[in-house]
A and B are shown apart, each in its own frame.
Chain A
Amino acid sequence: MQTKRTIFPNRWLPFALLAPQLAITLVFFIWPALQAAKSSFEREDPFGFKTTFIWFDNYAKLLADPMYLNSLWRTLIFSVLVTVIAMSVSLVLAVATNRLLRSGRIYTTLLVWPYAVAPVVAGILWWFMFNPSIGILSYVLGQLGVDWNHRVNQDQAMILVVLAASWKQISYNFLFFVAGLQSVPASLSEAAAIDGAGPFKRFWTIVVPLLSPTTFFLLIVNINYAMFDTFGVIDGTTGGGPAQSTNILVYKVYADGFLGLNIGSSAAQSVLLMLIVIVLTIVQFRFIERRVQY
C-alpha cells in the first residue's frame, strides 16, 4: 500500500473542484432519494390533491404481500443468473479475442456493438426472435420438439429475460476484460511457460488473479445492472409475466408507480431496493474485496 498525499496551498480549491460533482449528486441523487423516502410514508391520490401521512403502512403492506416476496425471489434468481452468464461469457470471449493478433480488433468492434442498443430495443429484439407465434427461434425450437411459449411457461419466460439482459451486458464486460487482459504482462506467462506450466495452469494462476480488480469491479456493476437497469428489457420482452414470474423488483417499482399510479407503495419499494443494494455493496466491499489483489 502506498500513501499519496498532495498538499494544496489553497484551502478552497479542492472544494471548488469537487463542487460540480457534489452539486450533481445532490440534485440528481440525494434530493430525489429523500423525496422517495418522504413519499414512502404517504398515501396520495394519482392527481396529487390529497396527501395523507400514514407512517409505515406502505412498508407493512409490502412485506405482508406475497407478490412482493415473490418479486424479491425472482430478482434474486434473475440477478444471479444474469451476473454469472454475462461475466463468464464475456470472459471467454475476451480471452479468445486476446489471443488473436490481427483480427482481434475487428472482433472487439463487433462484440461491442450490442452495447449501443437501447435496453427496450434489445428487449423487443429478443421478444421478436422468441415470439411464440411469429418468432424465428421459437419456430426452430418447435421443429426440434421444444414447445416454446413464454406467454404461458414461466421458466421459459425467465430464460428469455435472462438471455436478453445478459446479451445486453456482455459487450460492456467484454471491453473491461479485454483491457484487463492486455495489462497482464506477457513476460509472466512466458516465464511460467518456460517453467513448464500448461495454458490452463497459466490462466488460473497468473491471469485470473491479475484480473481480479477488473472482475471485482464488474461484479458490482453487473449486480447493479441486473437489479436496477433491466426494466427496459423486461418491459420489452415479457412485461413481468406470465403470472409475475419475471416481475423483478425494479420492474415492479415502475409498474406500480407509473402504470398503477400507486406512488406511496412504489416509493416504499424503491427505498427498500436502495437498501438492498447498499447492503449488497457493503458486503461485497468487506468480504470479497479482500481477495482482490491490486
Chain B
Amino acid sequence: MVRYPLAAGLAVLTVALTSSVALAQTEVTWWHAMGGELGTKLEEVAANFNASQSDYVVTPVYKGSYAETLTAAIAAFRANEQPAIVQVFEVGTGTMMAAKGAVYPVYKLMEDNNQPWDTAGFLAPVTGYYSDPEGNILSLPFNSSTPIMYYNKDAFEKAGLDRDVAPKTWAEVEEFSKKIVASGAATCGFTTGWVSWIQTENLSAIHDLPYGTLQNGFGGLGTEFTFNGETQARHWDNLAKWSKEGVFKYGGPVGGNDAPPLFYSGECAIYMNSSASRAGVVANSKDFEVGFAPLPYYEDVIAEPKNSIIGGATLWVLNGKSDDVYAGAAQFFTYLSQPEVQADWHQFTGYLPITNAAFELGEEQGYYAEHPGSDIAIKQITRGTPSENSKGIRFGNLTQVRDVIDQEFEAVLGGSKTGQQALDEAVQRGNVILREFEAANQ
C-alpha cells in the first residue's frame, strides 16, 4: 500500500500537534443547551474568544434541552466529571442556589481571579433574578429573554386589519383572531410556546398577581404557590374555549415544540414565545412579514400592565476544577460581558442585552431604529417599577412544577376540568413538590 506511510505520517503529525496544543492551553469545558441558529452563534462566540488569546480554550458542548443539560451536569457532578461552566435555565436557579457545595459563585470567581466586575452595569431585572439576598450575582447572566408576541402582518392585512397594529389586550386578541379565521387569512388565530412560563408565570407578573408566598419565593424555602387566582383561572378557561372554537391552537407541553411550525407555515397568525425565538422566526418566516408586540393583558384587571419576567439562562461555574481552569473561566466571562460581544449576541438572537452598555451600544449603532420591534422585549421587561409580584419567581424543583402545570392545563383543554379546578390541583401538587425540596435542602 502506497497510501499507508502517508496516513501514518499524518496521524503522527496530528497527534503531535494536538498534544502540543493541549499542553500549552487550559481547556475550559462549557455545557450548553443552544441548538439550531443559537447554537451556531454560541460556537462562534467561543471561537472568537479562543482566537482572542492563547492561554485557554473554551470548548462548548451541546447537551440537549435545558432540562437535559441541567440533569446531565448534576449527574456529571455526582460522578466527578462535571464541566467548568454549565448553562442553566432560569427555572433551575432555585435548585442551583440551594446546591451551595456544588457552585462557585460568579462574583467570587471574578474577585479571586482579579477580573473586573461591576454589578451595577447589568440590566436591573436580570441582576435581581440571579442575586443572593446580599445582592451578589451567583451566575453570569448570558442569555436572558422575555416572552413577546409575534404576528403575521400579511395575514392581518388579508383579514382586513391594519398590518401595523397588533392586538393590545386579550379581548383584541380574540376579536382579531376571529376575524382572521373567518376571513380565511389563516386557519387559527394564535398559538403559544411555554404555557407554564408565558400563560401562567408571566400572565401573573404582568397583572401584578402573586405566584407564590414569600415574594414569589425570593424570601426563603417555606413558600407556597398562589397562582390559582381568578384571573389565571379565567385565562385558562378562555384558552380552552378558544381552543374549541379554533381561535387558539395548543403547541404541546414544556416549550411547545409544535407551536413554531404553526406560525412559520402561516397556519396561526399570532405566536407568543421568547424574544430569543426571533432569530428562528425571522429565518423561517420567509413568505410573510413578521410584526413584534408586547404580550396582551386583560384591561379590566390592570390598566397599566407591569413588566414581564425573565426567561433564558445563566452560566454557572461548578466546583472541583483546578485554579487554571477557573482563571480561564473568569477571563471568558469578562470577554462575554464586553458591550461588543453582548450587543452582537443580543442583536443576532433576540436575547436581552445583559448590560446597559450593550443596549446603549446598540442604540448608537442605530440597530433599534433600523429593526423596528427589536427593542420590544427590553421595553416590556423594564416598563414601570417592578413590584414584588413582577420581580420574578424563584422556587426549587420548578421544572417539576412546570410539568404539573402542563398536565393540569391539558386537562382543561381536554374538557375534564375547569380552569379553577385545574389550578387548585396544580397549586396543591406544586406545594407537595416544594415541601419535598424544602426537606431535601434544609
Contacts and interface: CB of A to CB of B under 8 A. Distances in A.
Interface of A: 43-50, 52, 67, 131-134, 149, 151-154, 239, 241-244, 255-256, 258-262
B163 to A, nearest CB: 24
A152 B407 CA distance: 10
Which label, helix, strand, loop or mixed, suits the secondary structure of the B interface?
helix
B26 interface: no
A258 B397 CA distance: 12
B262 interface: yes
B441 A45 contact: yes
Given A46-B95, A132-B258, A154-B414, A241 B406 contact: yes
A216 B84 CA distance: 53
Contacts of A43: 436, 439-440
B38 interface: no
Interface residues of B, number: 39
A46 to B, nearest CB: 5
A47 B74 contact: yes
Contact of A243 (B243, B397, B399, B411): B411
A100 to B, nearest CB: 42
B253 A242 contact: yes
Contacts of B429: 67
Nearest to A50: B440
Given A50-B440, A239-B253, A242-B253, A260 B403 contact: yes
A45 B96 CA distance: 11
Given A46-B95, A47-B78, A262 B407 contact: no
Given A241-B407, A260-B399, A134 B261 contact: yes
Interface in B346-373: none
28 contacts: A43-B436, A43-B439, A45-B98, A45-B440, A46-B74, A47-B74, A47-B102, A50-B440, A131-B258, A132-B258, A133-B249, A133-B267, A134-B261, A134-B265, A151-B252, A151-B410, A153-B414, A241-B253, A242-B407, A243-B407, A243-B411, A255-B403, A256-B400, A259-B71, A260-B403, A261-B397, A262-B397, A262-B400
A243 B441 contact: no
Contacts of B397: 260-262
A259 B399 contact: yes
Contacts of A244: 407
B5 interface: no
Nearest to B191: A133
Given A46-B74, A47-B74, A152 B440 contact: no
A180 B436 CA distance: 52
B77 interface: yes
B133 interface: no
Contacts of A154: 414
Interface in B240-256: 243, 249-254
Interface of B: 67, 71, 74, 77-78, 95, 98-99, 101-102, 243, 249-254, 258, 261-262, 265, 267, 397, 399-400, 403, 406-408, 410-411, 413-414, 416, 429, 436, 439-441
Contacts of B414: 152-154, 242-243
A50 B251 CA distance: 39
Given A131-B258, A241-B253, A260-B400, A152 B410 contact: yes
Contacts of A132: 258
Contacts of A134: 261, 265
A46 B243 contact: no
A47 B101 contact: yes
A133 B99 contact: no
A255 B402 CA distance: 13
A137 B102 CA distance: 48
A250 B406 CA distance: 20
Closest 7 CB pairs of A and B: A242-B410, A243-B410, A243-B411, A260-B400, A45-B440, A47-B99, A47-B102
A49 B416 CA distance: 41
B285 to A, nearest CB: 15
A98 to B, nearest CB: 42
Nearest to B72: A258
Nearest to A49: B101
Most buried by A among B252, B406, B436, B439: B252
Nearest to B262: A133
Contacts of A47: 74, 77-78, 99, 101-102
Given A259-B67, A260-B397, A243 B265 contact: no
A272 B403 CA distance: 23
B413 A242 contact: yes
Contacts of A259: 67, 71, 399-400, 403
Contacts of A49: 99, 101-102
Q: Which of B254, B258, B265, B267 has the most chain A CB within a 10 Å cutoff? A: B258
A261 B74 contact: yes
A225 to B, nearest CB: 25
Which of B74, B250, B400, B414 neighbours the largest number of chain A CB atoms within 10 Å of its CB?
B414
A44 B411 contact: no
A151 B99 contact: no
